[in-house]
Structure 1
Amino acid sequence: MLIHVHVGPSPLGDERGTYEHVEAAIRVIEASGLEFEVGALGTTVQGPADRLWPLMRELHEATLSSGAEKVMTHVRLFQSREDVVEASMSDLAARITH
């Protein structure tokens, strides 16, 4: 399964940094041990569905726990019936020509 997630905290950060609340969500992803790629408009994570579903909630809650007053989390999902992604994120990215 692949998820592309964007947390939209309000406010974005605090005295610790402009993007502290977003970075709190990214730290949760890093700690998961799953393959991920941070982009300008969100983060893509690859792994089994039974790990990614709870991870989405953890990301949302980590943003609030870091001090955000509100958060809107946007998620896009890709999953095959067998819960197998045939290529890694880096393989998929390599197929894109600019």
Structure 2
Amino acid sequence: MELRNKTVNVAVQVLPMSDNHDMYDLVDAAIKVIENSGLKYKVTPFETVIEGSYGDVMALVEKVQEACFISGAQKLLCNLKIQSDHTGHVTIADKMAKYE
């Protein structure tokens, strides 16, 4: 099984820390990178869920962290939850359709 090419959902929560910058401004910089990625995503109050191939999503997670540092974060906690399925693909719509 090649996980790298499977469609997965990754929930990413960044908790940037800075003495000189508002945390929410740093989170907004991270979300902007996600918006510009071209991948499907859904922002929620505590995390953002991203849908795409495992390789593409994990590369984006690295860019999200870099965006926080470029924007002024001195330290960063980055929490991830990954949902994958060895028999197929995982989509945001599969989990959210009945609620929207």
Confirm or deny a common fold (TM above 0.5).
yes
More helix by share: 2
Q: CA deviation at 1:12?
A: 8.4
Q: 1:83 to 1:63 in 2, by over 3 A?
A: farther
Residue identity over aligned pairs, in percent, reads 29
> How far apart, in 2, do the equivalents of 1:52 and 1:72 lie?
18
For the residue of structure 1 that corresponds to 2:72, the secondary structure is: coil
Which residue of 89, 92, 98 corresponds with 1:89?
92
For the residue of structure 2 that corresponds to 1:92, the secondary structure is: helix
The 5-angstrom pairing of residues 13-92 of structure 1 reads 14=21, 19-81=24-86, 84-85=89-90, 88-92=91-95
Q: 1:83 to 1:67 in 2, by over 3 A?
A: farther
What TM-score comes out, normalization by structure 1 length?
0.82
Q: Is the 8 A contact 1:49 1:83 kept in 2?
A: no
For the residue of structure 1 that corresponds to 2:89, the secondary structure is: coil
Q: Is the 8 A contact 2:33 2:63 kept in 1?
A: yes
What TM-score comes out, normalization by structure 2 length?
0.80
Q: CA deviation at 1:8?
A: 0.2
* Structure 1: 4+ residue segments shifted above 2 A: 11-14
Q: CA deviation at 1:55?
A: 0.8
Residue 16 of structure 2 is aligned to residue 9 of structure 1: yes
Gaps of 5+ in 2: 1-7
Structure 2 letter corresponding to 1:69: Q
For the residue of structure 2 that corresponds to 1:80, the secondary structure is: coil
Q: CA RMSD in A?
A: 2.2
Gaps of 5+ in 1: none
Q: CA deviation at 1:21?
A: 0.6
